[in-house]
Chains A and B, each alone.
Chain A
Amino acid sequence: MNKALKNPLVFTLFVLPALFLFLMFFVYPIFSSIYYSLTSWNGVSDTVKYTGLTNFKKALGDERFWISAKNNGWFIIFSCFVQVPLIVLFSLLIANVKKLKGLYKTAVFMPAIMSTAVIGILWGFIYEPNIGLINKIIGLFGVDPIYWLSDERFAMLSILITNAWQWTGFYIVMVLAAILSIPGELDEAAKIDGATGVQRALRITLPLIMPIISIVIMLSIAGAMKAADIVIVMTKGGPAGSTEVMATYMIKYAITNFKYGYGNAIAVLIFMFTLVVTAFYQLVIARRNERIEY
């Protein structure tokens, strides 16, 4: 096997299928997007007119686009500062339960296997102003009904909570796997030295699972930048565009308006923003926690 792989021809042949797929489904679409982003193509016509950077100038000068970009930012902030701490907390709790660990794992993972459309409908009921669960509960304390999805002040928050609910379980299972792979001796030694449960969690477990947390943050950022389905299902970007994200902006202002050139420019901008944010995260934060060796 090793001998075969040392032969450049065999090596190339092994690489070719993956390379072909990579070029076809990743490199080609990116370059095609960049090409069309410099045109005023309507998505149907065979003739394509070159317009230079007009589409980019238009997007970057559009207040609505920046509202959308800001909402993507909220997704990132909510993921990193609310969702990730919860993921870690629940992972630590589940890792330390003695009974029914499998049940807990299955229960938290359940939302991740449900389709976004189903989750949107489910949470639509929960947020329903008159009969919804949340308003029923807050009603017990005399609080007036909140119009979660139709009030600009709450709509984005409602989506962020739903999105976090959908994906938290998926990441918990990842973090849990990392916690359970920590050699038991480390925890035992700390216990013998008199460390409390909280101390062991903060000083032993947490530092050892930092690489996986870093990956979770990374995936959350990437997911936040391309969020669209949950927004479409829950609010369609409304009320009045207040929950629009870059991907839904692209659909609404470009694709549905026969402005594919503009749509491609937005797609390129999303790609560039994601690249910058993830590169920044990798260079500044993630690199410090790359590897743990026992």
Chain B
Amino acid sequence: MKKSLTMLLSLIFVTSALMTGCGGNNNNKTTNAGEATNAPDATNAAATEEPVSSEPFEMTIRHTQVGADKQKRLAILEDVVGKVQGEVPGLTFKLDGVDSDVNRKEKLRGEMAAGNPPEIFDLFGSPDSKIYAKESKLLDLTPILEELGIKDKFSNLDPFTYEGKIYGLPIGGSGEGFFYNKGYYTEKGWKAPTTFAELEQQLADIKADGKVPLAGASKAGWVPLMLANHLWSRYAGPDVTAKFPTGEAKWSDANVVKGFSKYKEWIDKGYFKKGELGFEYAEYTTQFTSGEAILMYDGTWKSSVFKAGQSGEGMIGKVGFFNIPPVEGGVGDQTALMRDVNNGYGFSASVADDERQLAAVKSFIKNLFNEEMQLRGLVEDGVLPAMKIDQAKLNSSITDDLMSEIVAVLNSSQSSFPAFDSLVQADVTTEISNIQIQSLIGGQTTPEKMGAALQKVQEEANAAVE
């Protein structure tokens, strides 16, 4: 009997320990939430002259500055974190670094579904922020931006705007074009091409020279799609992609197919590194920095690689940048540059319920989204400012040749258009990124079939929206 009783008591003890363990997190959260919500009341009751509690509290920042090439961007974030912690008593930021794609497509979505996203997180503008905003998961930043007086300081907040309210802020902008090996070009006596025929001649000559004309790494579909996107926008017009979801244009239109055909022609001529479907994005850069590939079509963010201490250090001063030249018979502005302001920071809607967290968010926005930090991002990290900055100030901040060339290219383009994935539905993005572009590269489809297949998915997606 005594033995049974001991057994029973032990079991009860183990079970309660287990239950306590399982419920621990929630209890803590409740306590913290309780403390947080009670804190202002308690303070108000105790002394009106001391409204801000300095009791320790923690907030999480989910960022994507992981890896060697993003260290400068991380340093900027860390400086901002330091400033905000100094301004908000009791605040400790927990930095949670996650790969950009994992955060965007898996982690943040899971957290949004579960209702527990970090207070501050890396956010993609379109379509992500709009979906989250629609479900009231994001903090409306409009009043904060008005209070801080920076609402009109951003070049473009469209990707983060839903029903007139702003739900996120772009950390920087980017433009896409060709990086080229200046050393090789000088050796050949060439200059950056100004006509499409000249570009194609150079590609052919590089190939004949036994070099790889264009870096290629298409394991992830978005990498080859940067160039493909620009090509179909040259042939069919910069605004054509925006017309797919409205039904005003079709993927199977002759001019769009012309863009796919040009890409396919370059594949068939062997202009891209062979075996590209098996290479990661990191290898894309390596092909260029190693001198194996002479041209690399990429975003201006890549300029950060050609700085001291970075993987492309050996090519400092030897890299140039140019926009795709006008194509013959192309529609619309032939100087149009693919530009994006689609990546930045968003804030959990739950922040609005906690005054101290709200104060921290205001301080974070104030310290990160200002002229100084935008210029630091440009100079140190090669990220174009998302905010409007005086041209003279901008010019005086730029010290390296590559960035000067990039800014010159940006200034010489008459208009810009965003990348396809911020314009079309997620289903269409999946189809073109995971299937169609790789099938085109692998030779399993033709430009015409690709256009037709994409249009089918586009129509289904358009019908689903209606």
Are A258 and B275 touching (Cβ within 8 A)? no
CB distance from A43 to the nearest CB of B (A): 5
A148 within 8 Å of B by Cβ? yes
Of the candidates A14, A239, A241, A257, the one having the most CB atoms from chain B within 10 angstroms of its own CB is A239
CB distance from B340 to the nearest CB of A (A): 19
Are B7 and A4 touching (Cβ within 8 A)? yes
CB-based closest 3 A-B pairs: A150-B278, A150-B277, A149-B278
A46 to B136, CA, bound (A): 10
A57 within 8 Å of B by Cβ? no
A236 within 8 Å of B by Cβ? yes
B458 within 8 Å of A by Cβ? no
CB distance from A128 to the nearest CB of B (A): 8
Are A253 and B18 touching (Cβ within 8 A)? no
Interface residues on A, range: 35 or more
Are A45 and B135 touching (Cβ within 8 A)? yes
**What is the chain A residue whose CB lies nearest that of B8?**
A10
Are A235 and B275 touching (Cβ within 8 A)? no
Partner of B278, one of A43, A64, A129: A129
**Residues of the B chain whose Cβ atoms lie less than 8 Å from the Cβ of A252:** 430, 434
- Do A44 and B278 contact each other (CB < 8 Å), given the known contacts A236-B220, A257-B430? no
**What is the chain A residue whose CB lies nearest that of B112?**
A44
CB-defined A-B contacts under 8 Å, sample of 23: A10-B8, A10-B11, A13-B11, A14-B11, A17-B15, A43-B113, A44-B135, A44-B137, A127-B278, A148-B278, A149-B219, A151-B277, A236-B219, A238-B277, A240-B435, A240-B436, A240-B439, A255-B109, A256-B105, A256-B109, A257-B426, A258-B109, A260-B113
A216 to B427, CA, bound (A): 39
Partner of B434, one of A147, A241, A260: A241
**Residues of the A chain whose Cβ atoms lie less than 8 Å from the Cβ of B276:** 150
**Residues of the A chain whose Cβ atoms lie less than 8 Å from the Cβ of B441:** 239
A48 to B182, CA, bound (A): 56
**Residues of the A chain whose Cβ atoms lie less than 8 Å from the Cβ of B391:** none
Partner of B131, one of A10, A44, A238: A44
B408 within 8 Å of A by Cβ? no
A214 within 8 Å of B by Cβ? no
**What is the chain B residue whose CB lies nearest that of A154?**
B278
Are B15 and A256 touching (Cβ within 8 A)? no
A23 within 8 Å of B by Cβ? no
- Do A256 and B426 contact each other (CB < 8 Å), given the known contacts A44-B109, A150-B275? yes
**What is the chain A residue whose CB lies nearest that of B7?**
A4
Q: Which label, helix, strand, loop or mixed, suits the secondary structure of the A interface?
A: loop
A3 within 8 Å of B by Cβ? yes
Are A3 and B4 touching (Cβ within 8 A)? yes
Partner of B274, one of A13, A129, A236, A258: A129
Residues facing B in A1-50 (CB within 8 A) are 1, 3-4, 7, 10, 13-14, 16-17, 42-46
Residues facing A in B307-362 (CB within 8 A) are none
CB distance from A183 to the nearest CB of B (A): 38
B132 within 8 Å of A by Cβ? yes
**Residues of the A chain whose Cβ atoms lie less than 8 Å from the Cβ of B221:** 238
**Residues of the B chain whose Cβ atoms lie less than 8 Å from the Cβ of A111:** none
A46 to B113, CA, bound (A): 9
Partner of B18, one of A17, A130, A147: A17
A211 within 8 Å of B by Cβ? no
**What is the chain A residue whose CB lies nearest that of B461?**
A257
- Do A257 and B427 contact each other (CB < 8 Å), given the known contacts A3-B4, A240-B444? yes
Residues facing A in B341-396 (CB within 8 A) are none
Are B277 and A16 touching (Cβ within 8 A)? no
Q: Mark each residue of chain A from 223 to 241: 1 if its CB lies under 8 Å from any CB of chain B, else 0.
A: 0000000000001111111
Residues facing B in A228-276 (CB within 8 A) are 235-241, 251-253, 255-258, 260
Q: Mark each residue of chain B from 424 to 451: 1 if its CB lies under 8 Å from any CB of chain A, else 0.
A: 0011001000111011011010000000
B42 within 8 Å of A by Cβ? no
**What is the chain A residue whose CB lies nearest that of B4?**
A4
A251 to B109, CA, bound (A): 12
A145 to B275, CA, bound (A): 10
A152 within 8 Å of B by Cβ? yes
CB distance from B456 to the nearest CB of A (A): 12
B14 within 8 Å of A by Cβ? yes
Q: Other CB < 8 Å A-B pairs besides A127-B278, A129-B278, A155-B278, 9 of them?
A: A3-B3, A44-B113, A145-B275, A147-B275, A149-B277, A239-B438, A241-B434, A256-B109, A258-B131
**What is the chain B residue whose CB lies nearest that of A148?**
B278
Residues facing A in B216-252 (CB within 8 A) are 218-221
A17 to B21, CA, bound (A): 12
**What is the chain A residue whose CB lies nearest that of B220?**
A236
Partner of B444, one of A1, A152, A155, A257: A152
**Residues of the A chain whose Cβ atoms lie less than 8 Å from the Cβ of B197:** none
